[in-house]
Structure formats: structure tokens, C-alpha cells
Chains A and B, each alone.
Chain A
């Protein structure tokens, strides 16, 4: 078998794919964080917990209600989005006039509550979820086997990211949104319902997290703890990329996923910490983040 730097090609491309898959999750999650941050000026600590809820709902849907993967791919993000809207209306909206740190603290509390609740209901053991029939099996690319489901994760996440980008940058609704981000008062004066947009933005942002959760369900063990460790890495991704640009956060997410995957091949011990190390280096040379603007 051919080797590159002493590593079999098969293993190298396998890890590259895995890195891309992880990168896709980073991209979707950091995109959601960036969208929410742009509009609400809040870092949504509950993002990881809501991602977990998306995955758990997918499992619960099949296990108890017999609803399959494809339906849940639509239903779970909608449910998570509705939960988000409820959170925004009931709690977050009272905090906009205060220091932004309170938003972080509130969503941290919510994350603890959601995670604890699911732990109490389902325990910490992972639940298996089988890959839907249409996506099981693998493509033979000649130099490697590409599992269909992994390809699907990458395609689906990137499509969603692209769609979000298109919606925000190219449509009328997106123009309102950007206007409201830039200057909420003036936008409101033009007759646009800014509080409604804020509410929908939060719902949409966490809906993205729910979507990522459904994608993750067949690819990993579904457990109440799956979101909390992931979200800290995503925070580091967000610090590295800066939250100024949508495409920037998507690219940073993908790139870091790949770097992490490659680290697993060449220096396995560092694979858990490599993203944080990159963050430290970026903070030293470009504190505002790669795509960020200093406010």
C-alpha cells in the first residue's frame, strides 16, 4: 500500500474525512453562534445543550414515536427553534439592556438545566442510532472507501451554511437583519419589527444547532453529555475566526476540523488540545481573530 510521510494513504484520507465531518459540525455550530451574537450580542452557552437536544429528539422520535430520520431532520430543528423562541421571549429579552455577560450566565444556567434534565431521564450512557438505509454503505473512490453518511454530513452542513449566507447577504429579509444588527433603533424607526426579528434570529440560530444534532445522531453515540465538550471547542473556533463574517466562521470551522483530523494521524496525544493551542497563537498575533474586526 502507498504511504505518505509513513502513514498509509487509506488512514490519512480516512482521518481527513473525519476531520471534514467534525469541521462541518464546527462550521454549523459557530455559524449559529455568530448569527445570534450579531443580533443579540449574546454568546449562547446553551448552544451545545440544544445541539444535544436535537440529537436526543431524533432518537426519541424513532424509539417512542416511530418517526424516521428524514422527518426528524425537519421536525427536530423546528422543535429546537421553538424552544429557542420560548427562551428568548420568556428570559433573554429582559437582559438586552444589561451587560452582555448576563446573557452568557443565563444561557449557561439553561445549559446546565437542559443537560441535567436529559441526564436524569436517559442516563449518561450513549444511545445508538442506525444510519438511514439510503445513506448506509460506502462509495469506493479507488484509493479509499468513503462512507455515504459522512459524505452526507459534509454536503448537508455546507448546503445549510451556504443557504444561511445567501439568506443574510442576498435577500430582503437578510438586508433588514443586517440593518437591525447595525442600528436597531433606526431600523425600528423605518417600521421594521426589530423585536420580532431578534426572536426569529435566536430561534433560527438554535435551530441550526438542532439540525447539527440530527446530523450527528447516526454518526456518534447520542448522550446527554455530547454537547458540552463540543461547545467549548466551538467557542475556541469562534475566538480564532472572529464573529464578524459568516463565510469566515464556516471556513475557520472546516479548517480547524481538518487540522484536528491531521493531528490525530501525526501526533495523536495533541489532538484534543490542538484547537486551543491554535487559539493561543492567534490571540498572540491577531487578537481580533482571523476574520474579526476590533470593536
Chain B
């Protein structure tokens, strides 16, 4: 990590630890779950140039598996989280190896279609509870702390987010991340340099799916339920929107995007009803037409112009 990013990271972490004094902790935890989801997605879209339109399926799968593991198998909390994350990683490997056979918009359509298939399986499978969802998932305890207490859970969620965020940064700045960027910029050239592009794409996909799964598993723990909404294509669209709005390929963009979208939905849900979808759609259209670098990307560009650097 560059020095500036490290400082921002530490300041952000400090703010997160203080946040529950001012903001309802459940809301912050929801933002963090979606922020992790968006960061995982950004690893794929922003740094590898692959647009997956079915990422909600990893969130949903992990949410269900974690819920089932904690409720029915009565596993300890950490094992439950691990089970969900592993399931999403495995599913990511299956869907990823099929999807990377096509490129560009076909890749987007394939991921969307495969995700829809899994969605229908969840709709019919007995363990998901169908339309009702999986409810009453116990949070359990961790190192003797009772996670039923929101504040104890809050620090666990912050730790999960901070750890994953750091992991993603490490991945991006490692040689592995550099190769991903090379693939994004010019795939034929990366191939001609001798890189096994398919292998790197698959690895990025699996990593992204696993982290999206961790976000879903954590989300189950926070809300104590898992529903079909988690795996629905609407959610896949939302994570695209968060990343686009915050700024694809920027470090903090997905975090900013997720914060804005979750807060917005929270504020608007009972005021405008189904018009929320219209507003989300409008933000999409505006971002694509006039605001393609997103909030963080545009701010950085503005800052660079102010200090006289060429953008």
C-alpha cells in the first residue's frame, strides 16, 4: 500500500471504531457487508476488467450455507462463517471456469444466466425455506463474547472488513494484481507475454467470489436471516451500481459507493416505495453517461488537476 492509502486506511479504521457512538451499529454493519461485497466485485471489474452480472449468487449462497450451518448443524460461529465462504468459493470456481470461456458482454450474460439458475435451485430447495427465507439464525459466541450483543458483533464485523480490505489491497499490489491489470488493459498482449490468462482470470474470479461469500456470511450473522433477495439479480445489479458510483478500479470507491447506496435505500425505502428502483436506475444512467470515474475517481482527477498534474 502506498503511504497515503495506509494513512487513509488507519484513519478510516479509527472512525469505524468510534462510529457506533453516533450511528446505529446495525446500519454500519450493513454498510460494511455491502462494502466488502463491492470491494470483492471491484477486484474483478475494476482490476481485471471482467463484468460479472451474477455476483449476488455468491453473497446468497454463503448467506444460506452459513445460516444453515449455524442453525441446523449448530456449528461454532467462526466455522459457520468459514463454511459459507468456502461454499461461495467452490461455486465461484464452477461458475468462473464456465464463464471465462466467453469474453466481454457474453461473460456478463453467462454469469447472469448461471446465477439465475442457482437462484431457481434455491427457490425450490427445501433448506432455503423458499419465499420465507431462513430465519432465526443464532449468532453464537466468540472467545467467550456473546455475539447476540450488537456491540460485540460490531467489532467482529469491523475486523472481518478491515482484514479483507487489507487482503484485497495486498492482492492488487502484488505481482498477481499487476498481471490482472495487464489483462484488463490488453489481453492479447498479456497472452503473448506468456501468461496463462485463463488461469489468472479464474483465480481472480474465485478470490472475488470467496470474498463476496464472506460478505454474505457476515450479513447472515448481522441480520440473523438469509433470504432469496440476497441471491436475486437485483442484488447483482446493486453491487455493480455501488462500484460504478464509487469509482471502478479505485481503492476506496466501492466503500464510498456502498455507503451512499445503502444509506439512500435506508432513507428512501418508506418514503417513495417502489420508486426506489427508478432512482437506482437513474443513478445508473447518470453514472454511465456523465460520471464514469465515479465519486472517488472524479475527486482524484479534480485534485490532480488542482495541483497541476496531468490526468
Contact A232 B116 (CB under 8 A): yes
Residues of chain B lying within 8 A (CB to CB) of residue A95? 288-289
Residues of chain A lying within 8 A (CB to CB) of residue B274? 116, 119-120
Residues of chain B lying within 8 A (CB to CB) of residue A279? 110, 113-114
Dominant secondary structure of chain B at its interface with chain A: helix
Contact B282 A109 (CB under 8 A): yes
- A245 CA to B124 CA, complexed, in Å: 36
- Report the minimum CB–CB distance from B129 to chain A (whole Å): 17
- B47 contacts partner chain A, Cβ-Cβ < 8 Å: no
- A269 CA to B117 CA, complexed, in Å: 12
Contact A283 B284 (CB under 8 A): no
Contact A239 B289 (CB under 8 A): no
- A53 CA to B114 CA, complexed, in Å: 26
Q: Which of A96-104, A125-133, A194-202, A212-220 contacts B (4 or more CB under 8 A)?
A: A96-104
Nearest B residue (CB) for A33: B109
- A115 contacts partner chain B, Cβ-Cβ < 8 Å: yes
- A179 CA to B51 CA, complexed, in Å: 30
Contact B288 A113 (CB under 8 A): no
Residues of chain B lying within 8 A (CB to CB) of residue A228? 233
Given contacts A269-B124, A283-B110, contact A108 B237 (CB under 8 A): yes
Residues of chain A lying within 8 A (CB to CB) of residue B166? none
Interface 1/0s, chain A 234-255, versus B by CB < 8 A? 0110110000000000000000
Interface centre among A43, A95, A112 (most CB of B within 10 A): A112
- Report the minimum CB–CB distance from B128 to chain A (whole Å): 14
Nearest B residue (CB) for A286: B101
Contact A277 B117 (CB under 8 A): yes
- Report the minimum CB–CB distance from B77 to chain A (whole Å): 33
Residues of chain B lying within 8 A (CB to CB) of residue A239? 102, 106, 109-110, 113
- Report the minimum CB–CB distance from A280 to chain B (whole Å): 6
- A94 contacts partner chain B, Cβ-Cβ < 8 Å: yes
Given contacts A232-B233, A287-B101, contact A109 B284 (CB under 8 A): yes
Nearest A residue (CB) for B290: A94
Contact B284 A106 (CB under 8 A): yes
Number of A-B contacts (CB under 8 A): 122
Contact A106 B233 (CB under 8 A): no
- A269 CA to B105 CA, complexed, in Å: 30
- A110 contacts partner chain B, Cβ-Cβ < 8 Å: yes
For the complex, count residues of A whose C-beta is within 8 A of B. 42
Contact A119 B113 (CB under 8 A): no
- B23 contacts partner chain A, Cβ-Cβ < 8 Å: no
Residues of chain A lying within 8 A (CB to CB) of residue B7? none
Residues of chain B lying within 8 A (CB to CB) of residue A73? none
- A160 contacts partner chain B, Cβ-Cβ < 8 Å: no
For the complex, count residues of B whose C-beta is within 8 A of A. 42
Interface 1/0s, chain B 98-134, versus A by CB < 8 A? 1101101110111011101100110110000000000
Q: Which of A42, A106, A108, A117 contacts B289 (CB 8 A)?
A: A106
Contact B114 A232 (CB under 8 A): no
Residues of chain A lying within 8 A (CB to CB) of residue B277? 112-113, 115-116, 119
Given contacts A91-B285, A104-B108, A108-B237, contact A116 B275 (CB under 8 A): yes
Contact B278 A91 (CB under 8 A): no
- Report the minimum CB–CB distance from A205 to chain B (whole Å): 15
- Report the minimum CB–CB distance from A252 to chain B (whole Å): 14
- Report the minimum CB–CB distance from A16 to chain B (whole Å): 22
- A62 contacts partner chain B, Cβ-Cβ < 8 Å: no
Contact B289 A91 (CB under 8 A): yes
- B281 contacts partner chain A, Cβ-Cβ < 8 Å: yes
Contact A235 B292 (CB under 8 A): no
Nearest B residue (CB) for A90: B289
| In the complex, chain B residues 157-189 whose Cβ is within 8 Å of any chain A Cβ | none
Interface 1/0s, chain A 261-287, versus B by CB < 8 A? 000000001001101110110011001
Contact B51 A104 (CB under 8 A): yes
- Report the minimum CB–CB distance from A85 to chain B (whole Å): 17
Contact A272 B120 (CB under 8 A): yes
| In the complex, chain B residues 277-302 whose Cβ is within 8 Å of any chain A Cβ | 277-285, 287-289, 292
Residues of chain A lying within 8 A (CB to CB) of residue B288? 95, 102, 105-106, 109
Nearest B residue (CB) for A279: B113
- A293 CA to B53 CA, complexed, in Å: 23
Contact A113 B281 (CB under 8 A): yes
- B211 contacts partner chain A, Cβ-Cβ < 8 Å: no
Residues in chain B within 8 A of chain A (CB atoms): 51, 53, 98-99, 101-102, 104-106, 108-110, 112-114, 116-117, 120-121, 123-124, 233, 237, 240, 244, 273-285, 287-289, 292
Closest 8 A/B residue pairs (Cβ): A109-B284, A112-B281, A116-B277, A113-B281, A276-B117, A116-B278, A236-B113, A287-B101
Between A and B, 27 residue pairs with Cβ closer than 8 Å are A42-B105, A43-B109, A100-B105, A101-B104, A106-B288, A108-B237, A108-B240, A109-B281, A109-B283, A109-B285, A110-B285, A114-B281, A116-B276, A116-B277, A116-B280, A116-B281, A232-B233, A236-B109, A236-B113, A238-B109, A269-B124, A273-B120, A273-B121, A277-B117, A280-B117, A283-B110, A284-B101
Given contacts A101-B108, A108-B284, A228-B233, 6 further A-B contacts (CB under 8 A): A105-B287, A113-B277, A113-B281, A113-B285, A116-B280, A275-B113
